[in-house]
Amino acid sequence: VIEQTLSIVKPDAVERNLENRIKSFFKEKNLKVLKSKKVHITKEEAEEFYKVHQTKSFYQNLCNYLSSGPIVVMILEGEEAVSKNRQIMGATDPLKAEEGTLRKMY
């Protein structure tokens, strides 16, 4: 099934100029980058985006981080794009991410 999903290049990766490497990595894994835009969101926008996590201990730190600098938001498309994006990204904790995933590499 062809799906679309959202992926975000976080502030530290943007600051390290990794967005093109990350886009290329998605393309190598057969996900098309349909749209890509660099934006700087407010803390309020980050809080709204991550609202599902508002009761979690990491919520405020996550919102502060996401709004701390420019991010790149991308719409990806491909076969099973949602699950493929999760596999490509790797575990949320970079220390637990498998070799070859974006979180492990960057």
Asked, for residue 56, whether it belongs to a domain, the answer is no
Asked, for residue 47, whether it belongs to a domain, the answer is no
- CATH number of the domain to which 25 belongs: 3.30.70.141
Average pLDDT over residues 21-32: 98
Asked, for residue 55, whether it belongs to a domain, the answer is no
φ, ψ for residue 61, nearest 5 deg:
-60, -40
| pLDDT confidence band for 3 (50 / 70 / 90) | very high
**Looking at the DSSP assignment, which residues form a beta bridge with residue 77?**
4, 32
Residue 42 buriedness (CB in 10 A; 0-12 / 13-18 / 19+)? exposed
pLDDT digits (tens, 9 = 90+) for 46-94: 999 999 999 999 999 999 999 999 999 999 999 999 999 999 999 988 8
Rounded Cα gap, residues 57 and 50, in angstroms: 13
| pLDDT confidence band for 29 (50 / 70 / 90) | very high
Domain that holds residue 22: 2-40+69-105
Walk across the sheet containing 32-39 and list its strands.
2-9, 71-79, 32-39
> Domain total for the chain?
1
pLDDT of residue 83: 98
User: pTM for this one?
Assistant: 0.91
Asked, for residue 63, whether it belongs to a domain, the answer is no
Asked, for residue 26, whether it belongs to a domain, the answer is yes
Asked, for residue 80, whether it belongs to a domain, the answer is yes
